[in-house]
Every structure is written in C-alpha cells, then in structure tokens.
Chain A
Amino acid sequence: MDVPERDAGLSNQQLSNTKLIGRLLRMSWQYRAVCLQVLGYQMVLLVLGVSGLTLSGLTVDVLRKTLQPGAPAVRWPWHLSPPASWSPFVILCVLGGAVLAMAAVRAVLNYSYAIAAGRLIHVQIVPNLRAAIFDKMQRLSFRFFDAHASGTIITRVTRDVQLLRSFVDGVLIQGAIMIVSLGLYFVYMLLKHPGLTAASLSLTPVLWGLTTWYSRWAQPAYARNAQLFDEMILTMAEGADGAQVVKVFGREKEEHQKFVDKNQAVRDQQRRIFLRSSLYSPAVHLISQSSVAVLLLYGGWLVIHGQLSLGDLIVFAGLLQQFGEQVRTMATVVNTLQQSLSGARRVFEVLDTPVEIESPVNATRPQRIQGNVRFEDVHFGFRQGAQALRGIDLDVQPGQCLAILGETGAGKSTLISLIPRFYDPSRGRISIDGVDLRRLDLEMLRRNIGVVFQQSLLFSISVADNIAFGHPEASREQIIEAAKIARAHEFITALPKGYDTILEESATNLSGGQRQRIAIARAIMLKPAILLLDDPTTAVDPDTEHEVWQAIESATSGRTTFVVANRLSTLKRADFIVVLDEGRIVEQGTHAELMRQSGLYRRTADLQAVDSVSQRLLSGGAFSGGA
C-alpha cells in the first residue's frame, strides 16, 4: 500500500508551543509533591554549599589575623563570633568540624535528592507514559499504522517519552535550581561587595551569548553529521543485503567506491565541525579565567586597602566559578526545552489520536454467530477522495466460501479487513446475521473471526503459545487439535522441542508454508464462525503451497470463508467468486459462470490453465494413482 510516510500523520492540527507547554505544566502538576521535595533538597544543598565556602574563607581570615597582626579583624557572619577565651587553634578545629558536619548533611541530602529524582523519572513519569502510549497504540485503528512507519512508532515509546520527561527534570527542576542559585550567589556576592560583584560578573553576558550561539550552531551541524553518517551505514548495509547482486554483476569496486565517497563526506563534515567545536571550550575557559583576572585585580586592590577580607576574596573566586557553571546550564535548559517539546508533540499525537473503532455502549452480544455476512452499498476510502471500495453489495450465507480476485490495489484486502472492523466503511453497512457490525460487541466480533494474513507474523514465543495466541488459556489438547486440523501437528512434533520450541524473531527457523499452517491453527483455535484468508500463499514457496491449501481446506469446512486468491485452483473451489476492479465488483458468479464471460476472470484462468498438451500427457502418462 502506497501510504506516504508523513510524520504529521492524522492529527493535522499541530499543537502550538504555548498550548504544548501549558499541557506539559498541567501534566507536571500531578507530580508536584515530588518535584517540590526535589527542589527543597536542592535549596538546602545550595545554602550548605555557600556556607562551606564561607567557612573556608573564615579559616583563612582567622589564620591571617593571628599571623599578620596588621590584618583586618575577622568579620563573623550574623555576629556569631566565638568566645574570646577560645584559642585560634580551637576555633580552627571548630571550623573544621563544622565543614565536616555540613559535608555529612550534604551527603545525606544529595543521596535523598538523587533517589527522589530517580523515583520521579524512572518509577513514575516514564513508566506511566510508556504504559499509556502502549495501551493507546494497541487500540488505535489500522489507519494509524498505515500512516506511520513502525520505526517512528517505536521511538515514540522509547526516545520521545524520555524527551518529554526531560521537560520535568531538565527544564522545570533544572531551571528552578538555576534561577534560585544564580539569585542566591548574586545576592550573597552583592552583600559582600557590590562593586566587586559588578566587576567580576561583567563578562557573564559574553559567556551567555557564546553558549547560546554555540548550541544554536551545533544542533543543525550535528544533525547534518548524523544524516551523512546514516547514509554511509545504509550504503554498507545494502551492500551486505544485496551481496549476491553486487557479486554477480561484478560491482564490488563500484560498491566500495560508493562507500568511500560517503565515508569521505562524513569526514569532511566532521572536519568542518571540529574547528568550531574545538574553539568553543577554550573560549568559555578564557572568559571565565578573564573574570578571575578581573577579580584578582580589583579584589586584590580592595583587600590591600582593607575594604575586603582575604577570605572573602577566596569565597568570591569560588562563587564566580559556580556562577559561570550555572550560566552555562542555561543554554542546556533552553536546548532541553526545545527537545522536550518536539518529543512531547509526538507523544501527545499518539495519545490524542482518536480510537476510531470501539465497542458501542449498549453492544449486542448474540448467543451464537451463524456466519451470514452482508455488505450493503459499502464504500470505503483510506483518504478523502481516494475511494478504495465503491458500492459493494454481497450476501454470503453461513458456511459458504467466497473467493475474491482482482489486481493489486483493487481493494481485495480492504474488503475483508472491514469484516473484523479493522476499518469502518465510510458509507453503507455491513452486518452479520442481520446485526450491523457497529452494534456488535467488538471483542466478541473479533473472537468469532479467524484471520490468516498474507505474511502471518508469528511471535518469538513458543509454538504452542503462538497457536493459543487468541485463546491463552487453551489446554495442550486443544492446541494439538487445532494444529492437526491445520496439518501442522506433524512438523511441529519434529521440531527440536516440539510445541515448546521457541520461535526465532520473524520465525526464520520455519519455512513459509509451516508459518502459514501455524497461522491457520492460530485462527482455528478461536473456533470462528467466519474465516478470512488474505492471499495466504503469497509468501509461500510454490512447492509447499499445496500443504497450506490442504490445511485451509480442512479448516474452512462449516465456516463462512472469504478468501483472496489469484490461483485458479483456489478460485475453482469457491462457492462463488467476485472480481474486483478499482474498488467495484465487476464480475461475480461461480467458476463455470465466469468462464462463460470473457472478462478479467477468464483471462486469469486462461493464463494459468494447463495447456491441453500437458493435460493429455499427464492423464495419459504412465503414472499410477491420483494426486
């Protein structure tokens, strides 16, 4: 099916940034208690950090006062001056003890902070979101999966959820910490000495400008880099996948040259980035070190003239470093905000996609389904304007087998996927035993329909679990019974661990015919009144195809069956046949009736007919027994 992959997908209406942030804030509100707890820890840690620095400064001042008689008196904060009876060494020990005590408190707080933040992210936000998306995803209609490549759906649950949660910890919490600590440092420095504060922070705007500029430049540059890298890897992977083609056409040299070029493109792009990115860190260093120089010049002058203590100068130097670090996180926070918004947009897109197909409120649950399927003037389109089915009328009696023939894109698969309500018709109605599908309980409807797809996906669980996929509580006897009907019992028992053999990913340890027979057993397990077979031998080797058809024949008896097929031998077995062309029924009737017309059916049949010579040779030949 040619559905162009567009990320915007179904909900064309893009959320604006403001709305998105509003929604994220509302979501974060659920976690407010933990967020506040986390912030609280950080506040205390911040105060302790500043106090620790102050203590070191004080120690220096105490020592200086003792050793250099001319030095200014120690300025104790909050008039906490020690009793005059204490010797300088006792004071030192007390200060050292205070540093240690605070460090112990800090350690405990840091631990609690990390645990609380971890719990918030890994136990609450991420698992909740993942479970919600997965649950939603499973219930979305097939339209969603038609419109999105499976890779992008998977990243929504994995990466995009992580991006979204970074709004809470990377933007809200980090942002709050940043603002508060910048404020605290600033006020503290201001209280110590406004002039020195202004002078030493004078280069901060430059630092901020530089980090912002760099992160704006770096993102697209690295994105380009990643793109070139992906192209190179793709070239390599294709060369390996298509090794036989490459070798038989003798294209190894050309193929290698292609890779060398792509590799060179990666290297060139890298070198373009290298120069700028190796300028960045040194530039940031230079700016912060220049601030230190300013601090030393002006602060040194102040100390010499007795307007600032030496300890305070050391504290200033420490604070200046922390201040610079916080300024640099600002760029990170802004980046995180952008990324979290793009992640959130993609997560919310899934959560907001309406579940198109749901059970009605007062669903009908008939005792038994007989299997009379009626289509009345059914129209259907995947997109506005493009009609896949137009005015389909059908009436299939219980136990009848209907075969559907048509070109690729004629609407065959679409027609049968309307019966289990994988899609709903846009006009007209489909009924089972006279009840409109949309009035039936959805779960009950699907449990009464067995589906065998073109390429049946089996799961990497045991064979038995695959057969019991729709009926997990089935007993081993029931599973074996279903396998026998599907002619699968024999080859299953020949597998290394029989029914308990775990299938490999995509069941590559089985042949196509074996996979389809397990899929048939899986469908029969439901004991469905209706069986849908969507061209079940497309992906099967012709020499094992007949095994699948034998399985199908025993599976269909007594069931209303819809089978999409191109093979004459299948078509002939049907009670009646419809030929679809561009979404319309163009011919219908039994094999014999259709052979009398000179339509599409007749042409197909002629193409596959056994020529009379072979016919005669085979029936007249010296062989014993029938087929």
Chain B
Amino acid sequence: MKLAATVAVALHDDDELPRRLDYSVIGRLLAYTHRYAPLRNKLLVLVLARAIQTPLLTWLTAKVISGSIAHGDYSKVCLGVAGFLVLELFTEAVFVFRMHLALRLGEAVVHDLRNELHRHMMEMPLSFFQQTKVGRLISRMTSDVDNLRIGVQDVAFVSMIQFGTMVISALLMAYYDWMLFAVVLAMVPVLWWLIEYFRGKMILAYKRVQASFSRVTATLAESVRGIRVIQGFVRQDVNGGLFGGLIHDHSRNNMEAVKLSAVFQPLLEFNGQLFLAVLLVVGGYRALHGTISLETLIQFLFLSNLFFGPVPVLGRQYNNALTAMAGAERVFELLDMQPEWSDDPAAKDLPEIKGRVQFRHLNFEYVPGEPVLHDINFTAEPGQVTALVGHTGSGKSSIIKLVAKLYLPTSGEVLIDGHRVETISGLSLHRQIGTVPQDNFLFSGTVRENILLGRTAATDAEVAQALDALDVRDLIEELPQGLDTQVGEKGVNLSLGQRQIVCFARAMLANPKILILDEATSSVDPVTEERLQSALMKLLEGRTSFVIAHRLSTIRHAHAILVMERGRIAERGTHEELCLHGGVYADLYRQFIGGSVPGAAA
C-alpha cells in the first residue's frame, strides 16, 4: 500500500460563478440521469409537446377573436372554443406530468448524489475530517446539491420549452406578415442587452448584500455567545454602535440593489410598451392600406407577447445553469478527492488478537517535511496499560492514532500481534479496538443508541451487563428517562461526567482487546471523579490500553509511562522509576500537582 499521489487539498469555497458553461461538467451531470433514462426520455417528449401547445392555444384564442367573432360567425366561435377547451385540457394534463416527472428526476439524481457523497466521505481517512470544516461539507450537501438539482430538473427542460415557444410564435408571425415580424425581431437585441447589462450588475449588488448580511449575523452570533463578557465588561454601548454601523452598511447595500431593480423593471416594461406602440402604428398603417388584415394585427398583439415572454426566462435559466454548474463542480471536486491512503487490496482480515502492540523505528509526519514522531520504539504486552504523558504537541495523540490505524506510519512499523498494520484491513482492526475520545463525543439519539454503537447487535441484557461491570448502572438510571434519555440537540445536556460514563459503557460493550483513551482535561466534581476512576480501572482491566493520561491515579496505575517530548520518547518506565529518575517526568508531575511538593504535607 502506498500513499496516494494526490494529497487532499482543502476544498475551495470560492463562490464565484464560472464565466461560461463547461460541457464536461454538464456531460458528467447528465450521466447521472442515465439510470433514469425512461423517465428522462418521457420528459423530453412531454417538453416538446409543451413547446407546441402554448403557442397553439394563444393562436387559437386570437383566431377566435379576430376571425370568427370579428366576422360574426357564431357557430365557428363555438367550434373554436370547443377546440380551445379540448386543447387546454390536454395541455394542462401534459403540464402535470411534465412537472411531476421533472421533480422526480431532479430528486432522484440529487438523492443518488447525496448517497454517493456520503459514501465517499465515509471512505476518507480521519485526516480529511481534520482538514475540512463540517460547514463546508454541509454546504456541499445542501446549497450545492440544490443548485445542481435546479440544473437537472429545470434548466434544460424549461429552456427547451421556452425556446420552442419562441420559435413557434416567431414562425407563426413570419407566416402572417414578414414586415411586421421584422419589427418584432428588431426589439430582441435591445431586450437581450438590457437584461444582460442589468443582470451582471444585480448579481454583484446581491453579492454585496449577502456579504454585508454575513457580517451582521457573524457579529450578532458573537454578541449572543459573548453576552456574559459584554455585560461583565460593560461594552453594550460600544457594541451597539458597531452593530449599528453594520446594519447601516447592510441597509445601504440593500438600497443599491433596490435602485438597480427599480431602474431595470420599469425599463423592461417600458420596452414592452414601446413595442406595443410601434406595433399599433406600423401594423395599423399596414392594415389601413390593406397590406395586412385586422386579423393579422390582432394575432400579432397576442403572439408577440408570447415571443417576448421567454426572453427574461431564458436569461434566468442561463444564470441557473451557471449556478448549477458551479455547484456541480464543487460536488465533483469532493467526489474526485482521493483518500490520502486506503487499505491495500491485498490486506487481510485480522484474526482474533491477544493485543500485543509494537512500534519499531517509527517515524511519522502529517505534512511531508514536518515530522511529528521520531524513531519511536516500544512494545505493549497484552493487558498492559501504557500512559502517554507530555506537553500539548509532543506527539501523544499521534501515537494513539497510529495504533488505531487512523494514519499510516511514514516509515517504520506498527505491529498488532505481529501483523504490520499495512497488511490488515482497517475495519477488522477497528472491530477489536475501542476508544474513548477526549471530547466524549455522543451522537444525538438516546443513551442506549450511543452505547450500542460499541456493538450494534448487543441485547438489553448485554448493555446492562456492561453497565454493571463498570458499576455505573445507577448513574445511568438516574437520568430522566434512563437509557432512553435523549442526548444532543433535542435532548437534555448530559454533564461531563455522565457523558464520560456513556463513552466508557460504549467501549465496555465493544469488549475490545485494545483500548485507546484520551482523558478529558476538564475536572469534574470530586464525587463523580471517584466513580469515574473506579469505572475506568474496570474498563482498562485485561486490555492493552493506551491512555493520554491527565489523572494522577490513571498514571499511577499504568504498567508503563511514555514521556513524550517533541516527538520523541524522552523517558519511559513506571511511576516510581520515573519519580526517582528526577527528569522530565518528575518536573511535569511536580507542576501538575501545583508545586506542592516538597513542602506542604497532605
């Protein structure tokens, strides 16, 4: 197994719109509709039908008014209306299916993409999650995928319908009168330019509005979270002034956008009216001279509306297409990101282990050229507790991550019962390892669900057994709904001690041979602390354990202490040995107990 050549680069969060359409992205996006080819093809047929129906209906209306009614033929009026109703009913039926199929296609593609994104994320190694902000991933799943959905379900189909409508009404007009149609056609570039000119400006203006709004919300969020500090330090007036400035700025940007649209919309409408006036005068002149009939003029009044209607819609769709493409590009970028490493295809499943862990001449770096561990050698025998001690950044957590094969060594070996981690599959190793993370991470859901994460198939009796083994059943039962208490966003907030108990139970239930534990740094109250200590000791019993230790009793309990300093093992031994040695450990230990030794007696 080798490190993949491509190093995961941070996802860029540039929300600049691309300048033009990129057909390779579009092609790739379209490929997602292949699974739904029958659906998509039906949709295409319906779209063609829609493109014809709308001009036909308008033409029929104008025909009835300008022909049958103007000429006083009521039986033809009735016939025309009957035809109109039949066509209308058919049109709307097609419309229902057109919308329904498009929505279904869009949702189907988006659904598949989300699953693919998630699967891909789950395959990424831990380093990916440490380099990527969760917010970034969320926006891939939400706004980017949603923009892309519009691209799939709307852009192509709506544009086709609108374009078709334009072409057919143009054909009809050209059929009725070439000259008048030329007048109509002359308006198109004016309209197109008007729309393009303002669209560009408005996009910029709305970006500014968004940016100033983000500043408002960011400041607001900080003020709410920091309210205790603000009140404690009597900063209300200063902050109020700052916030006022931001609101004012946002309001000014909003007005800029309003002004643009206040010019644009009336201009658009004026343009339409200008056209109407020209049509009335020119068309009227031609009608008066008998060049065209009154019927033709009325047809033009109706059809020209139909011809211009799609122009702004098409402009909007072009914009949607760009937005969808930008979304698709970002989604594909994430999907294309290669994991830094993955299991060797030849990796075997790890048989049941005893739990012997060895590091041999191990060197490790997260970023090439910046080593964090140098020539690490140690052996942890089955059932032994190894405590890792040292300053922040000394390499303690890198060691436990290497034991769990969350990263691979840069050089040297990590051996589990004599197997090099590179030769065994991550999953089979993980099935025999348990963890208690420092932040005592719990998923939202019930306490029971969180404990079951250790072994999904466990029965209630086994959960109870695990709790009994830790002697913490009473602590869980004390919770409002016991094991069924909801934690996280929708539930109560468990105290630090309670969270830790749940994490212990989770690890206990998994019953792993190897346990890695990053002790929480926050101290809890003494009574809870006592219970935690005894539960911890029971959890460690008989397991090869690696503990980033912050509690004295844990360190004392360890069979071996590795004192880490700048990526090297500075000292090793038992607590007694290291105290006697009087080196780094003794100093650390003295600081830790607050310099109370020697001197004050306890």
Report whether A543 and B273 are in contact in the complex, using a CB–CB cutoff of 8 Å.
no
Report whether B521 and A539 are in contact in the complex, using a CB–CB cutoff of 8 Å.
yes
Report whether A267 and B107 are in contact in the complex, using a CB–CB cutoff of 8 Å.
yes
* B243 within 8 Å of A (CB atoms): yes
Task: Select from chain A the residue with minimum beta-carbon distance to B74.
Answer: A304
* B121 within 8 Å of A (CB atoms): yes
Report whether B258 and A122 are in contact in the complex, using a CB–CB cutoff of 8 Å.
yes
The B interface, classified by DSSP as helix, strand, loop or mixed, is helix
Q: Which of under 10, 10 to 19, 20 to 34, or 35 or more describes the interface residues of A?
A: 35 or more
B460 to chain A, nearest CB (A): 19
Report whether A543 and B390 are in contact in the complex, using a CB–CB cutoff of 8 Å.
yes
Residues of B within 8 A of A626 (CB): 595, 598
Residues of B within 8 A of A475 (CB): none
* B265 within 8 Å of A (CB atoms): yes
Residues of B within 8 A of A282 (CB): 92-93, 95-96, 99
A254 to chain B, nearest CB (A): 6
* A451 within 8 Å of B (CB atoms): yes
Report whether A249 and B454 are in contact in the complex, using a CB–CB cutoff of 8 Å.
yes
Task: Select from chain B the residue with minimum beta-carbon distance to A117.
Answer: B258
Interface residue from A52, A95, A123, A275 paired with B251 (Cβ < 8 Å)? A123
CA distance A297 to B84 in the complex (A): 11
CA distance A608 to B72 in the complex (A): 106
Interface residue from A52, A107, A303, A511 paired with B69 (Cβ < 8 Å)? A303
| 8 Å CB interface, A239-267 against B | 239-256, 259-260, 263-264, 266-267
Residues of A within 8 A of B588 (CB): 543
Report whether B123 and A236 are in contact in the complex, using a CB–CB cutoff of 8 Å.
no
CA distance A466 to B225 in the complex (A): 15
Interface residue from B64, B100, B280 paired with A275 (Cβ < 8 Å)? B100
* B142 within 8 Å of A (CB atoms): yes
Given A245-B441, A422-B228: A614 touches B220 (CB 8 Å cut-off): no
The A interface, classified by DSSP as helix, strand, loop or mixed, is helix
Residues of B within 8 A of A619 (CB): 597-598
Report whether B85 and A293 are in contact in the complex, using a CB–CB cutoff of 8 Å.
yes
Report whether B129 and A283 are in contact in the complex, using a CB–CB cutoff of 8 Å.
no
B61 to chain A, nearest CB (A): 7
Report whether B600 and A122 are in contact in the complex, using a CB–CB cutoff of 8 Å.
no
| 8 Å CB interface, A104-163 against B | 104, 106-108, 110-111, 114-115, 118-119, 122-123, 126-127, 130-131, 134-135, 137-139, 142, 145, 150, 153-154, 157-158
- Complex interface bits, A83-96 against B, C-beta within 8 A gives 1, otherwise 0: 00000110011011
Residues of A within 8 A of B600 (CB): 572
Report whether A297 and B78 are in contact in the complex, using a CB–CB cutoff of 8 Å.
yes
A311 to chain B, nearest CB (A): 10
Residues of B within 8 A of A449 (CB): 232
CA distance A541 to B588 in the complex (A): 13
Residues of B within 8 A of A279 (CB): 96
CA distance A472 to B259 in the complex (A): 38
| 8 Å CB interface, B515-554 against A | 516, 521-530, 550, 552
A586 to chain B, nearest CB (A): 13
Residues of B within 8 A of A103 (CB): 269-270, 273-274, 276-277
A543 to chain B, nearest CB (A): 5
Report whether B103 and A453 are in contact in the complex, using a CB–CB cutoff of 8 Å.
no
CA distance A453 to B276 in the complex (A): 71
- Complex interface bits, B583-602 against A, C-beta within 8 A gives 1, otherwise 0: 10011111111111110101
Given A89-B285, A618-B590: A238 touches B100 (CB 8 Å cut-off): no
Interface stretch (choices A27-35, A59-67, A341-349, A370-378): A59-67
* B319 within 8 Å of A (CB atoms): no
Q: Among A238, A285, A617, which residue has the most Cβ atoms of chain B within 10 A?
A: A617
Task: Select from chain A the residue with minimum beta-carbon distance to B586.
Answer: A623
Report whether B288 and A145 are in contact in the complex, using a CB–CB cutoff of 8 Å.
no
* A233 within 8 Å of B (CB atoms): yes
Residues of A within 8 A of B285 (CB): 89, 92
CA distance A115 to B66 in the complex (A): 41
Residues of A within 8 A of B142 (CB): 233
* B111 within 8 Å of A (CB atoms): yes
Given A234-B444, A248-B434: A256 touches B69 (CB 8 Å cut-off): no
Residues of B within 8 A of A613 (CB): 576
Interface stretch (choices B31-39, B185-193, B233-241): B233-241
| 8 Å CB interface, B492-533 against A | 492-493, 495-497, 506, 510, 516, 521-530
A601 to chain B, nearest CB (A): 9
Given A314-B65, A542-B592: A469 touches B552 (CB 8 Å cut-off): no
Report whether A274 and B115 are in contact in the complex, using a CB–CB cutoff of 8 Å.
no
Interface residue from B138, B506, B528 paired with A237 (Cβ < 8 Å)? B138
Residues of A within 8 A of B229 (CB): 451, 453, 456-457, 459, 469
Residues of A within 8 A of B194 (CB): none
CA distance A124 to B91 in the complex (A): 46
| 8 Å CB interface, A43-92 against B | 52, 56, 59-60, 62-64, 66-68, 88-89, 92
Task: Select from chain A the residue with minimum beta-carbon distance to B123.
Answer: A252
CA distance A470 to B239 in the complex (A): 11
Q: List 16 A-B contacts (CB under 8 A).
A: A56-B280, A92-B288, A93-B281, A126-B251, A127-B248, A158-B220, A237-B134, A239-B118, A239-B122, A242-B437, A250-B429, A282-B95, A451-B232, A538-B523, A610-B552, A618-B586
User: What are the 7 tightest A-B residue pairs by CB atom distance, in nearest-first order?
Assistant: A569-B594, A470-B233, A103-B273, A623-B582, A250-B430, A118-B258, A114-B262
Given contacts A138-B227, A248-B516, A297-B77, 18 further A-B contacts (CB under 8 A): A67-B288, A110-B266, A122-B258, A127-B251, A134-B220, A134-B223, A154-B224, A238-B443, A239-B121, A244-B129, A244-B441, A245-B435, A277-B99, A296-B64, A301-B77, A512-B521, A567-B594, A600-B526
